[in-house]
Amino acid sequence: MSEVFMTLRPAAIDDAAFVYRVANDPGTRQASFRGEPILWGGHLDWYAHRLADPRYVFLIVCVDSGSANYVRRKPAGYVRFALRDDEAGAEAEITIALAPEHRGRGLAARAIMWAMASERLPHSVRRVVAVIKPSNEASLRAFARVGFETESMEPGRVVMTLRSNPYLAYIPPT
Ligand SMILES: CC(C)(COP(=O)(O)OP(=O)(O)OC[C@H]1O[C@@H](n2cnc3c(N)ncnc32)[C@H](O)[C@@H]1OP(=O)(O)O)[C@@H](O)C(=O)NCCC(=O)NCCS
């Protein structure tokens, strides 16, 4: 595989069509626990609410394309976190999806790591959870590669967690 330059940036309303394409892709729908196709109107509403929600972190994974003279940073997928509090403290549920043309290139683990290191993810988050279908080998392997461990296996779903996010940028104690 050739070297791919990857960056992450906060999602914007202009990414709505790209996010829709990736979220509605048959591979993504198959991996989702709500498998039915997504309608554009419902997507726009859902997406605008997610962007406005302070308990949600929505990041776009970009890769460089073009030539040495002209580099274009192209959206390649997204990583999102739903934040919540429980008795053990703040936690986040992570979801990743790459556009079909960017799958199978070994990008997933790096995108997860970069997202976990994002300054957008509050430092109070001590536990990150991924809920994955047992048949989703690529997702299970990508999360395992960055240190997630299987917490539980139920019929139809595997829960993987990472505690004490090791990827958060160091913030000196105040
Ligand atoms: C899940 C997803 C992000 C993984 O990205 P990817 O680009 O396909 O995976 P990568 O190429 O980075 O490979 C990740 C690992 O899975 C393995 N892998 C990739 N495709 C695989 C497949 N079809 N079957 C088995 N293993 C596979 C790779 O060898 C790699 O393993 P390694 O780290 O041990 O070498 C991507 O497939 C995707 O967007 N799928 C649709 C949405 C989805 O499933 N989201 C996750 C919901 S929890």
> Across-strand partners of 75?
62
* Ligand 1 atom having least distance to the Cα of 104: 11
Phi, psi of 134 (to 5 degrees): -60, -25
Contact indicator for 58, 10 with CB cutoff of 8 Å:
yes
Separation between Cα atoms, residue 59 and residue 75, nearest integer Å: 10
CA of 118 to the centre of ligand 1 (A): 21
Domain-embedded: residue 126: yes
Residue type, 38: I
Region at 104 (left for phi over 0; alpha for psi -120 to 50; beta for the rest): left
Look up the domain containing 23 and give its range: 6-163
Residue 97: CB within 6 Å of ligand 1?
A: yes
Q: Does residue 7 sit in helix, strand or coil?
A: strand
CA of 113 to the centre of ligand 1 (A): 14
Residue 110: CB within 6 Å of ligand 1?
A: no
DSSP type of residue 33: S
pLDDT in tens, the chain (174 residues): 557 899 999 999 999 999 999 999 999 999 999 989 999 999 999 999 999 999 999 999 999 987 778 888 899 999 999 999 876 678 999 999 999 999 999 999 999 999 999 999 988 898 999 999 999 999 999 999 999 999 999 999 999 999 877 877 655 454
pLDDT at position 120, please?
92
Domain-embedded: residue 170: no
Domain-embedded: residue 58: yes
Give the CATH number, domain containing residue 35.
Answer: 3.40.630.30
> Across-strand partners of 79?
59, 96
Domain-embedded: residue 145: yes
Domain-embedded: residue 98: yes
pLDDT at position 91, please?
93
Residue 8: CB within 6 Å of ligand 1?
A: no
CA-closest residue to ligand 1 atom 32: 141
* Ligand 1 atom having least distance to the Cα of 136: 44
pLDDT digits (tens, 9 = 90+) for 100-144: 999 999 999 999 999 999 999 988 898 999 999 999 999 999 999
Instruction: Work out how many domains the chain is built from and give that number.
Output: 1
Domain-embedded: residue 65: yes
* Ligand 1 atom having least distance to the Cα of 25: 41
* Ligand 1 atom having least distance to the Cα of 144: 33
For residue 76, which of 91, 63, 86, 95 has the smallest C-alpha distance?
Answer: 63
For residue 78, which of 122, 24, 151 has the smallest C-alpha distance?
Answer: 24
Domain-embedded: residue 87: yes
Region at 164 (left for phi over 0; alpha for psi -120 to 50; beta for the rest): left
Q: Does residue 138 sit in helix, strand or coil?
A: helix
Contact indicator for 99, 111 with CB cutoff of 8 Å:
no
Residue 29: CB within 6 Å of ligand 1?
A: no
CA of 135 to the centre of ligand 1 (A): 11
Domain-embedded: residue 172: no
